[in-house]
Amino acid sequence: MVAENLFSLREKEIFETLKKIKNFNFVLIGGYAITSYTFPRFSVDCDIVLKDREELKNIEKELMGLGYKKEDTDKTKLPYQGDFERFGKELKTNFKVSFDILFGEVSDRQTGISFSADWVFKNSEVRDIKGKTTSEGLRLRVASPDALIVMKISSCRINDIRDVFMLIIHAKDKTWIKEEISKKYNFNERFGKLKEKITSKQFKDGLQGVFGFVDDNVFDKHKKAILELEK
């Protein structure tokens, strides 16, 4: 099975699983939240945030019924730290789908920066999400574009920077974004890293490798919107 078909299989499984758990109280973050605002991209796993462990029990029961298993993963290799669980389901030999369930907070392993679940819920909205290979939409509570931008600039991995680049034209309050980042980290340091990446010659190629073709005019519009954060 070719790679794209495998990714499509994973995406279909994630959408089917989200349909089963959509009535529970959680907020979608990560790659599948991004699809609510911009071009869909394939994502290796699905990340959701809960306020407490009680809801985890309910979702865990549902996931187990769908064939998922709680994984004893080496958490030092994952982007998150703190209180979270990973549930995985093997779709093909050596090909899995994973759900990362974070409760209480979203804490980045690389920077140590954390955002409370209350903050994530407060800065969320109910929206349609869409997939890259599936025509079926799904309505869920997802983190707002501004909250996603704050979290992703704070961590500033290359995947996060690509997501910020695509999200930035949906930002509602850039002053708030800068203030929220500044509460956690030196904004100028984070912005400097962001600016360095998006102005590099190879950035557009990497972006298109994830999101597909991006027109030059669209690229320039997004780039300008990010550079305006410096003002």
Distance of CA 147 to the CA centre of its chain: 11
pLDDT surpasses 90 at 93? no
Same domain, 81 and 161: no
The string of pLDDT tens digits covering residues 190-228 is: 999 999 999 999 999 999 999 989 999 999 999 999 999
State which of 143, 160, 195 marks the end of a domain. 143
Q: Are residues 138 and 184 in the same domain?
A: no
Q: Is 149 in the same domain as 136?
A: no
pTM of the predicted protein model: 0.92
Share of the chain above pLDDT 70, in %: 94
Residue 7 has pLDDT above 90, yes or no: no
Looking at the 3D structure of the chain, how many domains does it have? 2
Determine the longest span between alpha carbons in the chain, in angstroms.
Answer: 51
* Residue 103 pLDDT greater than 60, yes or no: yes
Residues 143/28, Cβ–Cβ less than 8 Å: yes
Domain boundary among 106, 126, 143: 143
The answer on 149 and 35 residing in a single domain is: no
Residue 2 has pLDDT above 60, yes or no: no
Average pLDDT of the segment spanning 114-127? 97
Amino acid at 50: L
- For residue 109, is pLDDT > 90? no
Residue range 10-34, pLDDT digits in tens: 889 999 999 999 999 999 998 899 9
Shared domain for 65 and 8, answered yes or no, is yes
Last residue of a domain, one of 104, 127, 143: 143
Residue 225 exposed, middle or buried by CB count within 10 Å (0-12, 13-18, 19+): middle
- On whether both 169 and 67 belong to a single domain, the answer is no
Beginning with the edge strand found earlier in the chain, give each strand of the sheet holding 80-81 in spatial order. Answer: 80-81, 105-108, 114-116
Which of 167, 164, 174, 154 minimizes the C-alpha distance to 230? Answer: 174
pLDDT for position 24: 96
Asked if 93 and 182 sit in the same domain, the reply is no
Q: What is the pLDDT of residues 155-195, one digit of tens each?
A: 999 999 999 999 999 999 999 999 999 999 999 999 999 99
Range of the domain at 202: 144-231
Higher pLDDT, residue 2 or 82: 82
pLDDT reported for residue 77? 61
Per-residue pLDDT of 135-155, as tens digits, reads 677 999 999 999 999 999 999
What CA–CA distance (Å, rounded) separates 218 from 153?
A: 21
Output the pLDDT for position 3: 58
Position 56, amino acid:
L
3-state SS assignment for residue 140: strand
CATH at 105: 3.30.460
Query: What integer pLDDT is reported at residue 76 of this predicted model?
Result: 63
Whether residues 139 and 153 share a domain: the answer is no
What are the angstrom distances between the C-alpha of 85 and each of 11, 60, 146, 188, 220?
A: 20, 10, 26, 33, 39
The sign one gets for the Cα dihedral 179, 47, 53, 19 is: positive
